[in-house]
Structure 1
Amino acid sequence: MALYILFFQLCVAIITLPIHILAGLGLWDPIAKRFMPYLMERITKNINKHMGEHKKELFRTLSDFKGPSGELKVLELGCGTGANFPFYPSGCKVTCVDPNPNFKTFLSKSLAENDHVHFQEFLVAPGENMPQVATGSMDVVICTLVLCSVENIDDILTEIHRVLRPGGAYYFFEHVAADPSSWNYFFQIILDPTWKHIGDGCKLTKETWKYLERAKFSDVKYKHVLAPFKWSPVRPHIYGYALK
């Protein structure tokens, strides 16, 4: 089986050889970072269309985590194009963090379409290291379709736990590894070495729920669901929340 997988991985690599050459020369990453906002704008619109009900279910309790002042302070990591804004409660104060500054233009467009969101600031930083965000300053942290591309999930979960106030919540919505006995998983393994370049570090075979279960949160609740995208390598998802 290992030889079959290696063979098909090689076939995919040959088909996408220019990408691998540019990546080897260190030239692909700047291209991917400029291209990614355009790609994510299309992808996230499609996700909201087909999985919007799951997102509504996930985010319907956001207002329950308002702080003592009655305000809801939200930190969104990997905010991208602002695809989650339509699901946020009116009046919430949102600080956005993304390591890719090229998303800022697209974020502005989304904010103009969702004036119920009170935008605070856009910080260029990785989720694993956010010194600009004070400890215990956020009621809610939201992270969707991000952990797949994070090199060290334990580090980002530690940082999320740090910036949340006691009793705050971390909401997540991520694509994950498929059942190891499925064809979906077989295709994930085959595509993984190339997908990381196309998806700006995205890894298809992460068992993200295992990282969440061993993190420092007091409680973690999540569901496994399948996106209605036939033959898609990113069909399996989890969504839920964790409490500090």
Structure 2
Amino acid sequence: MADLTILLLRACLALLAMPIYLLSFVGIWKPFCKKVFIPYVLGHISDIHLKKSKKQRQELFQTLPDFRRGSGELRLLEIGTGCGVNFEFYPPGCKVTCTDINPNFQQFLSKNMAKNQHLHFEQFLVASGDDLHQVPSGSVDAVICTLVLCSVNNISGTLEEVLRVLRPGGAFYFLEHVAADPSSWKYFWQQICHPTWKLIFDGCCLTRELWKNLQQANFSELKLRHVSVALPWTPVDPHIVGYAVK
């Protein structure tokens, strides 16, 4: 009965979103989504999420200086930089390489770069998380990834690339929304919203159990917490936050 209810409610939601499904069918939605919808809508959503998660981000990134090299240098690589909302939390003087599969965030990214003159921005690479071939192996001290693993095509491939580009002893920092408890109403609504949400938000998956992927990756140490960073009127919660050491 529960499965039938989910299917019926999914159908109702799809009916409401029928114009988007039709645009997707004729090949219009995806380019519009990447060029206009995602940069502008997610730009504003990122600001809201930042306000809700500011404490968690401050606590998370305060340990970044611990991963400086002996020379005092700290090289950061951010996967899925988007609008650059994490920049304010990075230590002064660190060198930042930004990557994103979608180059259309430039307006918001440039704005946050200008606001964070305490950082040295080295380059922006158009790249997916599972293909960072432009980044040399063992070349960075920390990799940052927030609200990105929900939409990558290959989670294990992305984590393999993270391990490759990190130097020995470097760290992977993450803050990601994940599937709720399967016995909860939140998970019930995540299942209903999942297909339409994934279409509208360019591959964002609501029901990934990302903590399992991190546990199975070849990190030497994993520090992970489950937290709540609820966004009003959305199924994007709970979250995991922490870091893993190579």
Query: Which residue of structure 1 lines up, in the alignment, with residue 55 of structure 2?
Result: 53
CA distance in 2, matches of 1:24, 1:184: 30
**What is the percentage of aligned positions where both structures have the same residue?**
56
Is 1:24 equivalent to 2:20 in the alignment?
no
Is 1:163 equivalent to 2:161 in the alignment?
no
Superposition RMSD in Å: 1.0
Q: How many residues align?
A: 244
- The answer to whether the 8 A contact 1:58-1:239 is kept is yes
- Answer with 41-50 or 106-115: which moved more: 41-50
TM-score normalised by structure 1 residue count: 0.98
| Alpha-carbon offset, residue 181 of structure 1 | 0.7
Query: Which residue of structure 1 lines up, in the alignment, with residue 186 of structure 2?
Result: 184
| Alpha-carbon offset, residue 27 of structure 1 | 1.8
1:29-82 deviation per Cα after TM superposition (whole angstroms, max 9, x unaligned): 111111211112211111121210010000000011012321100000000000
Query: Which residue of structure 2 lines up, in the alignment, with residue 202 of structure 1?
Result: 204
**Secondary structure of 1:148 counterpart:** coil
CA distance in 1, matches of 2:232, 2:213: 27
**Secondary structure of 1:75 counterpart:** strand
CA distance in 2, matches of 1:205, 1:213: 17
1:145-184 deviation per Cα after TM superposition (whole angstroms, max 9, x unaligned): 0000012100000000000000000000000000111111
Where does the alignment leave 5 or more consecutive residues of structure 1 unmatched? none
Query: Which residue of structure 1 lines up, in the alignment, with residue 13 of structure 2?
Result: 12
Query: Which residue of structure 1 lines up, in the alignment, with residue 122 of structure 2?
Result: 120
Query: Which residue of structure 1 lines up, in the alignment, with residue 132 of structure 2?
Result: 130
Structure 1 residue runs of 4 or more that deviate by more than 2 Å after TM superposition:
228-232
CA distance in 1, matches of 2:92, 2:154: 33
Residue from 124, 139, 142 that aligns with 1:140: 142
| Alpha-carbon offset, residue 103 of structure 1 | 1.2
| Alpha-carbon offset, residue 229 of structure 1 | 3.2
CA distance in 2, matches of 1:26, 1:210: 34
CA distance in 2, matches of 1:230, 1:82: 22
CA distance in 2, matches of 1:228, 1:124: 30
CA distance in 1, matches of 2:9, 2:109: 38
**Secondary structure of 2:24 counterpart:** helix
Is 1:65 equivalent to 2:45 in the alignment?
no
Residue from 57, 74, 77 that aligns with 1:75: 77
CA distance in 2, matches of 1:131, 1:235: 32
Query: Which residue of structure 2 lines up, in the alignment, with residue 90 of structure 1?
Result: 92
- Answer with 104-113 or 54-63: which moved more: 104-113
**Secondary structure of 2:129 counterpart:** coil
TM-score normalised by structure 2 residue count: 0.97
CA distance in 2, matches of 1:38, 1:117: 24
**Secondary structure of 1:11 counterpart:** helix
Where does the alignment leave 5 or more consecutive residues of structure 2 unmatched? none
1:196-237 deviation per Cα after TM superposition (whole angstroms, max 9, x unaligned): 122110000000000000001111111101114355300200
